[in-house]
């Protein structure tokens, strides 16, 4: 166990003995991933592009799936699941069952708290053209003020061929929106203002009035940006993002300042772990796709990235949905297994639910459990809650502790103050939906749910290395 009061391992147990965890992930890579992913839909697109490069093939849920082992993924809205299904081992000494081979799963979430566009967004107020916004999830509203904001998300449009609905990703990286702060002279006591989510988070778009018919309205401009006629836009999920690029900061470059660390940092670390685990792309005809997994009896690696965690996960693509369970069952069925093989696979599977963790705040140390200090730069965090706001049990904790040991990175153990309400994540939902042993973990950060968050650069590689060691089993 590592706390602020005990020495932190120096990583000398890393596979190459250099003290640097073996991983392709680093802080610069994380910044690029985040800046490519302003919305859950873009996070899936960014992930999908990297998976394709590594030889993963996209499947459609409406199609029959190939029986051949291989690298696959599918996207359901703002959620994505990727896996490597390996062939039956030719080694007769391998005890692992086939087709009931278990899975090792990394879960994370693609969504982050932000301000989202209302259905009738055009508002005229005091000579300003405004865009109506509302908070998504537990956005820390004060952090969204006085920032240059872009817009991203997806449009659902009538298919040009007639019949059906198609989706278009849309992204505006110009500073078109801003939620202006109230001047200090207009506050009642000059100590701050209480922000009302209904009245105080609409964004300035320009001067004048929408009713002048300026340029086809807000959605009309976005439709033009997406290359579709405005009248074809039937639905949308649009949100704002801070335009300041993610950056490696701090006195010696030891920090990462970025939006959406919660939870794109885990999406990035989990994706890096999966790609590092499966290894280089295999050629067609290589047969058993076991690249990167030394033990042919080991479990098959899975990465699942859920949308809608910040609003409770209860949707057709959130952690409460059937996404993970049905995909795992279909993998077993595609191998030639049956329901019994699926249930046997589930019984042997383990899931690491990765989300972020609260580093001990230097200005508010009293808000943290005094004997469970979490140090930024101190390595991945095991999150435990007796009231099951986190899914971690002794078995899951041991699995992740072993993974950290194999990766040569320190492990920190987090407990929330018993007199403060603890947040939750996809871990308890995943565990209860599937019956899979699940452990909640994260990387330390400050300012969770702010428009701009902060973490240690070294934790990016340490986190990804631990996740890779977990996947490799
Ligand atoms: Zn989160």
Q: DSSP of 377-416, one letter per residue? A: TS--EEE--TTSSS---HHHHHHHHHHHHHHT---EEE--
Distance 347 CA to ligand 1 centre (A): 27
Distance 187 CA to ligand 1 centre (A): 33
Q: How many CB atoms lie within 10 A of CB 224?
A: 14
Task: Supply the pLDDT for residue 423.
Answer: 85
Distance 140 CA to ligand 1 centre (A): 13
Distance 309 CA to ligand 1 centre (A): 7
Task: Supply the pLDDT for residue 289.
Answer: 52
Distance 471 CA to ligand 1 centre (A): 21
* CB-based neighbours (< 5 A) of ligand 1, an ion: 262-263, 355
Distance 269 CA to ligand 1 centre (A): 14
Distance 108 CA to ligand 1 centre (A): 8
Confidence (pTM): 0.93
pLDDT along the chain (473 residues), means of 10: 38 49 91 98 98 97 93 98 87 72 97 97 96 97 98 94 90 97 90 91 95 77 92 96 98 98 98 94 51 64 97 95 97 94 96 97 96 97 94 96 97 94 89 95 98 98 98 91
Distance 423 CA to ligand 1 centre (A): 9
Task: Supply the pLDDT for residue 214.
Answer: 57
User: Alpha-carbon distance 394 to 218, whole Å?
Assistant: 52
Distance 98 CA to ligand 1 centre (A): 35
Distance 112 CA to ligand 1 centre (A): 7
Distance 125 CA to ligand 1 centre (A): 35
Distance 65 CA to ligand 1 centre (A): 32
Residue 121, phi-psi category: left (phi > 0), alpha (psi -120 to 50), beta (remainder): alpha
Task: Supply the pLDDT for residue 314.
Answer: 94
Distance 390 CA to ligand 1 centre (A): 12
């Amino acid at each position: 166990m590592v706390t602020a009061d005990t020495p932190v391992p120096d990583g000398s147990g890393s596979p190459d003995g250099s003290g640097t965890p073996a991983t392709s992930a680093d802080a610069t890579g994380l910044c690029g991933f985040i800046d490519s992913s302003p919305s859950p839909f873009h996070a899936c697109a960014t992930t999908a592009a990297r998976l394709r490069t590594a030889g993963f093939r996209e499947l459609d849920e409406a199609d029959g799936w190939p029986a051949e082992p291989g690298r696959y993924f599918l996207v359901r809205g703002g959620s994505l699941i990727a896996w490597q299904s390996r062939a039956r081992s030719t080694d007769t000494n391998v005890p692992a069952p086939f087709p009931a081979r278990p899975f090792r799963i990394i879960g994370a979430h693609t969504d982050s708290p932000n301000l989202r566009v209302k259905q009738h967004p055009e508002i005229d107020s005091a000579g300003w053209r405004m865009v109506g916004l509302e908070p998504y999830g537990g956005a820390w509203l004060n952090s969204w003020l006085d920032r240059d904001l872009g817009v991203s998300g997806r449009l659902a449009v009538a298919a040009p061929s007639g019949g059906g609905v198609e989706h278009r990703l849309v992204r505006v990286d110009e500073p078109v929106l801003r939620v202006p702060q109230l001047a200090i002279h207009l506050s009642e006591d000059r100590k701050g203002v209480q922000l009302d989510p209904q009245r105080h988070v609409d964004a300035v778009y320009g001067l004048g009035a929408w009713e002048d018919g300026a340029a086809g309205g807000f959605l009309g401009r976005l439709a033009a940006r997406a290359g579709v006629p405005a009248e074809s836009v039937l639905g949308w999920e649009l949100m704002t993002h801070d335009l300041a690029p993610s950056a490696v900061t701090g006195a010696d470059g030891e920090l990462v300042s970025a939006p959406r660390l919660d939870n794109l940092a885990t999406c990035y670390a989990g994706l890096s772990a999966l790609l590092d685990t499966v290894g280089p792309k295999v050629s067609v005809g290589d047969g058993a796709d076991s690249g990167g997994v030394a033990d042919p009896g080991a479990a098959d690696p899975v990465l699942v990235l859920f949308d809608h965690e910040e609003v409770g996960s209860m949707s057709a693509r959130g952690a409460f949905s059937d996404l993970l369970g049905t995909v795992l069952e279909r993998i077993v069925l595609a191998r030639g297994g049956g329901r019994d093989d699926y249930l046997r696979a589930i019984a042997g599977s383990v899931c690491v639910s990765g989300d972020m963790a609260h580093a001990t705040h230097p200005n508010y140390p009293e808000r943290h459990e005094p004997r469970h200090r979490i140090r930024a730069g101190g390595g991945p965090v095991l999150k435990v809650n007796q009231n099951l706001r986190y899914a971690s049990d002794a078995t899951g904790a041991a699995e992740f502790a072993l993974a950290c040991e194999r990766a040569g990175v320190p492990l920190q153990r987090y407990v929330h103050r018993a007199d403060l309400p603890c947040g939750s994540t996809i871990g308890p939902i995943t565990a209860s939906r599937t019956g899979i042993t699940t452990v909640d973990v994260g990387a330390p950060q400050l300012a969770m749910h702010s428009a701009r968050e902060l973490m240690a650069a070294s934790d990016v590689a340490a986190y990804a290395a631990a996740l890779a060691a977990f996947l490799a089993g």
